[in-house]
């Protein structure tokens, strides 16, 4: 079954959207005399130590150089394009086994 999405809304979809908008307005205080879009009291969150550590790690990784050898990537890309890249199945199998051994320890 396929549906064409052309931006036009069906009457049923308009009703659902209108109900959702009414629900949003009631949560924002429009039905209590507050203007829609009025700022509600700010929610507060407290991060755990793990979350704080993850954020610090993300900042460190974002600041570090990517470590990508662009010349090597371009060489592999061109050898793939011209069909000269050769896959060594034995090397792949050996690396998979060494990874499995490292994970099982």
Question: pLDDT of 70-96, one tens digit each?
Answer: 889 899 999 999 999 999 999 999 999
pLDDT digits (tens, 9 = 90+) for 4-55: 555 555 666 566 666 665 544 544 444 555 556 666 678 888 878 888 888 8
pLDDT of residue 64: 66
With left for phi above 0 and alpha for psi between -120 and 50, is residue 4 left, alpha or beta?
Answer: beta
Concatenating the DSSP letter of every residue in the chain gives: ------SPPPHHHHHHHHHHHHHHHHHHTGGGTPPTTPPPPPP-----HHHHHHHHHHHHHHHS-----HHHHHHHHHHHHHT-----HHHHHHHHHHHHHHHH-
User: Other CB atoms closer than 10 Å to residue 30's CB: what's the count?
Assistant: 16
């Amino acid at each position: 079954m396929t549906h064409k999405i052309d931006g036009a809304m069906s009457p049923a979809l308009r009703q659902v959207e209108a109900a959702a908008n009414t629900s949003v307005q009631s949560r924002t205080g429009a039905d209590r005399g507050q203007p829609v879009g009025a700022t509600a009291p700010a929610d507060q969150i407290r991060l755990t130590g793990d979350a704080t550590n993850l954020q610090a790690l993300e900042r460190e990784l974002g600041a570090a150089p990517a470590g990508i050898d662009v010349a090597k990537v371009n060489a592999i890309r061109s050898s793939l394009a011209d069909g000269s890249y050769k896959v060594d199945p034995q090397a792949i199998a050996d690396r998979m086994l060494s990874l499995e051994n490292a994970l099982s320890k």
